[in-house]
Amino acid sequence: MALNPFFLHGSASEQRLVQDLINEQLRMFGVDIYYMPRKFLGSKTVMKENVLARFDDNYVIEAYLQNYEGFAGSGDLMTKFGIRTTDELTLVISKERYDDFVASFYDTTLAEEVLVARPKEGDLIYLPLTDSLFEIKFVEHENPFYQLGKLYMYELKCELFEYEDEVINTTIEEIDDNVQDIGYIANITFVGIGSTAAVTAGILTGAVNQIIMINDGYGYTSPPAVAISTSPAGITTANATVVAITTTAGAGSTTFSIKEVQITNPGFGYTQPPTVTFSGAGGVGAVARAGIATEGVTHIVNSSISTTGSNYVTAPVVSISTSPAGVSTANATAVAVVGTGGTISAIRFTNAGFGYTIAPTITIADPASAGIATGNFFINEVIRGESSLSTARVKSWDADTKILKISNIADPFRIGEVLTGTATTITNPGMANTGRYVIQTIQYEDKYDQYAENIVIESEADDILDFTETNPFGEF
């Protein structure tokens, strides 16, 4: 039998009246919450997981807190993974208000946004009352059940958000700072504005101008001592001195070969090429011979470094004016040694040259931080390494200590490269300069996580473990 047509189960005007009454009640007795839809940036097929997400929109909407006596859930629990807080919350929002003030503002052209017609599981709710982020785990849409033939509200069952590396970038500081100190955080220190070093040089005759490696040897555990025959000139400063530079040990290896021998003092007064010998450090086989030159460049002693410069991170290029002898091997070449505090502590010749009739000009390149090291960074700003092209996001920035905390690191950054921010006066009104600094150190181990003990365990283990065959899982 069909229904009695003389009775109506809710007219459109009655349904609107109920919806209006609900809206009015919610606006009188509810609290403001921020609704933050999830944007899908990376998903895994087969396992069906959203691995990368961003929350950068927020919509204020009023909601009724059903937990008027406190959160549901089991509260704070001590687990083997540290403290887990299991607060749960049930919120009621109006269906009409959600449609008008949240759903209608979605940018439906974006592929990142999925299913906009209703509140959805996985979206976040920021509750200003407790300053915490909740994740919607279930949306109940049929409670109460079709009064006057229609549904008027959504019941959002939420629990505290489990944070991993999601980007929370709403531009509202109270929300964004909730994840500022948590999750994985690496830190970078920067160098200040650098100044350029300068050296002066002279010329001398009978100097050792080149050490040519004949055999690079093997099995050295550290740079071996290198001895050179004394000079016939008979005074200490006339004796050439050199240092050996070893190769970098390959994976799993703890011994080296000799990469090159650099001249710290070319000496003078040699009439025939001196003998070069290697000793110590456990290695064998290294053989080198020395060449001597008339009119080579003199020893760069500390007093010759007229300005030590500052804030060098990597060894700068050393340029020496060419020799009148006119052949490329006559031109002196040298490398700089960066000492403590980023100053140039020594100049070592790889070739002291020959045929110079007047003292050459030696120029040391500017430190990478010359003229930069200005500006500031802002939370969630994307930063980019200029040579590694890697990107990351700023967690926080301390302009006084020049320590930048970052997360969401795409690729490793390089020591000594320039790091540039992307903030502009449009995104951050009132900023003076976009942050631009040279990286001094990067620590990828998270030293801010209050749970992690990785650094403590590693340093304790260094004293008691014998990893002469290297830790297969990697050390830091």
Select the residue interacting with other proteins from 284, 301, 399, 415 (CB under 8 A): 284
* Residues 206 and 348 sit within 8 Å (Cβ to Cβ): no
With binding defined as CB under 8 A, does residue 13 bind other proteins? no
**Of 429 and 472, which CB lies nearer to other proteins in the complex structure?**
472
Beta bridge partners of residue 187, listed in sequence order? 405, 443
Residues 289-308 that bind other proteins (CB under 8 A): none
Q: Is residue 183 close enough to count as binding other proteins by CB under 8 A?
A: yes
For 268, which DSSP code?
S
Distance of CA 51 to the CA centre of its chain: 20
Task: Give the residues across from 138 on adjacent strands.
Answer: 157
Find where tokens 């006057």 sit.
Answer: 148
Q: Which residue, 352, 355, 294, is CA-closest to 323?
A: 355
The verdict on 212 binding other proteins (CB under 8 A) reads no
**Interface with other proteins in residues 86-125 (CB under 8 A):** 86-87, 121
The CA-atom distances, in angstroms, between 107 and each of 62, 103, 111, 112 are 22, 9, 9, 9
DSSP letter at 112 equals T
Q: How far apart are CA 202 and CA 186, in angstroms?
A: 47
Q: How many CB atoms neighbour CB 404 within 10 A?
A: 26
Single out the segment in contact with other proteins by CB under 8 A; choices: 49-57, 199-207, 212-220, 316-324. 49-57
> Any contact of residue 70 with other proteins (CB under 8 A)?
no
> Is 32 near other proteins (CB under 8 A)?
no
Residues of this chain, 235-264, that bind other proteins according to CB under 8 A = 239
Q: Which of 127, 244, 346, 404 binds other proteins (CB under 8 A)?
A: 127
Window 384 to 413, contacts with other proteins (CB under 8 A): 407-411
Binding window for other proteins (CB under 8 A); candidates: 41-49, 299-307, 345-353, 356-364 = 41-49
Of residues 440-469, which lie at the interface with other proteins (CB under 8 A)? 444-446, 449-454, 457-458, 460-461, 463-468
Q: Within 142-171, which residues bind other proteins (CB under 8 A)?
A: 157, 159-165
Taking CB under 8 A as the criterion, the residue among 229, 322, 350, 422 binding other proteins is 229
At 18, the amino acid letter reads: V
Q: Closest separation between CB of residue 280 and other proteins, Å?
A: 7
Residue type, 249: A
In the Cβ-directed half-sphere of 177, how many Cα atoms lie within 13 Å?
Answer: 7
Among 2, 6, 7, 42, binds other proteins (CB under 8 A): 42
Within 326-365, the residues that bind other proteins by CB under 8 A are none
By CB under 8 A, the count of residues binding other proteins is 81
Question: Which contacts qualify for 68-77: CB closer than 8 Å, 24 or more apart?
Answer: 73/159, 73/160
Nearer to other proteins, 222 or 307 (CB): 222
